[in-house]
Amino acid sequence: MFSWGRLVKIWAKYGGMYLDGLGYTLLYAVFGVVMGLILGLILASGRMLRRHPRDNVVVRLLKDIAKAVCVAYVEVFRATPLLVQVFVIYYGLGSMFKLPDASLNRCFWGVMAVGLNSGAYMSEVIRSGIGAVPIGQMEAARCIGMSHAQAMRRVVLPQAVRNILPAMCNEFVTIIKETSVMGMVGIVETMFRAQSIAKQTYIFLEPYVIAAIMYFIVVFPLSKLISAVERRMSKSVTR
């Protein structure tokens, strides 16, 4: 049965370990979302490739291959659980390309798995954000002599940021929670600390309740802040 007394005692004794694990969780989430943003931008660009009449056969073929690869990547990573991806990447790539330090090797490939997963979702966020920009903006930029790349960089993307930012922040909140699966391969984070404390104390409910409370304390205010910013941005658009 759950006991607040046991919970308080566990926190008093192991609170430092929990805070240490939470620090790693936030660090992994930051690295994951940054990697996901960079990868998502590349994937979104690949998925939005279009044939042009002036393209030769080779260019058209390369565009088709790049687009197909990006589509396949996104579909595979969105259709499989993150936990499975962590196991496949860690025990697959992590065993083939080992870093000198075992702990660093675990962290690196764990973050890679989270980042690769985030990239698939971020690509859809970026693609939908760009798609929400009126097509007339691109046409106007091309009419004044900009290339497609220049128009994307200078006209379309700055406007798309307004649409992308709230979803990107929500992805960060999601990653904070999803990093909990990294503990399954021995990577130190909040859930890994909870598991370790549960094994040491032979108490299995309270340590996980503390972990849940810590996630809630971090995620709930962030979610409310993101919602407030999103409402404010929506109001500024309608004015």
Q: What tokens were used for 22?
A: 């939470």
- DSSP code at position 133: S
Regarding predicted confidence, which is higher, 148 or 46? 46
Q: Is the pLDDT at 80 greater than 90, yes or no?
A: yes
Average pLDDT on 89-113 reads 90
Regarding predicted confidence, which is higher, 101 or 116? 116
How far apart CA 103 and CA 121 sit, in angstroms, is: 28
Model pLDDT, residue 239: 52
Model pLDDT, residue 218: 94
Model pLDDT, residue 50: 79
How many H helices and E strands in the chain?
Answer: 10, 0
Structure confidence by residue, pLDDT tens digits, 156-206: 888 888 778 888 888 899 999 999 999 988 899 999 999 999 999 999 999
Burial 88-126 (b: 16+ CB within 10 A, else e): ebbeeebeeeeeeeeeebbbbbbbbbbbbbbbbbbbbbb
Q: What tokens were used for 139?
A: 């046409």
Regarding predicted confidence, which is higher, 10 or 147? 10
Closest CA to 77 of 102, 43, 31: 43
Structure confidence by residue, pLDDT tens digits, 15-68: 999 999 999 999 999 999 999 999 998 999 888 887 777 778 888 888 889 999
Half-sphere exposure of 9 (CA within 13 A, CB side): 8
Average pLDDT on 95-102 reads 87
Model pLDDT, residue 219: 94
How far apart CA 218 and CA 198 sit, in angstroms, is: 22
Model pLDDT, residue 199: 93
Indicate the pTM of the whole model: 0.87
Model pLDDT, residue 10: 95
Regarding predicted confidence, which is higher, 191 or 103? 191
> Residue 188: what residue type?
V
Model pLDDT, residue 149: 75
Structure confidence by residue, pLDDT tens digits, 203-238: 999 999 999 999 999 999 999 998 888 787 766 555
How far apart CA 116 and CA 37 sit, in angstroms, is: 10
Dmax over CA atoms of the chain, in Å, equals 74
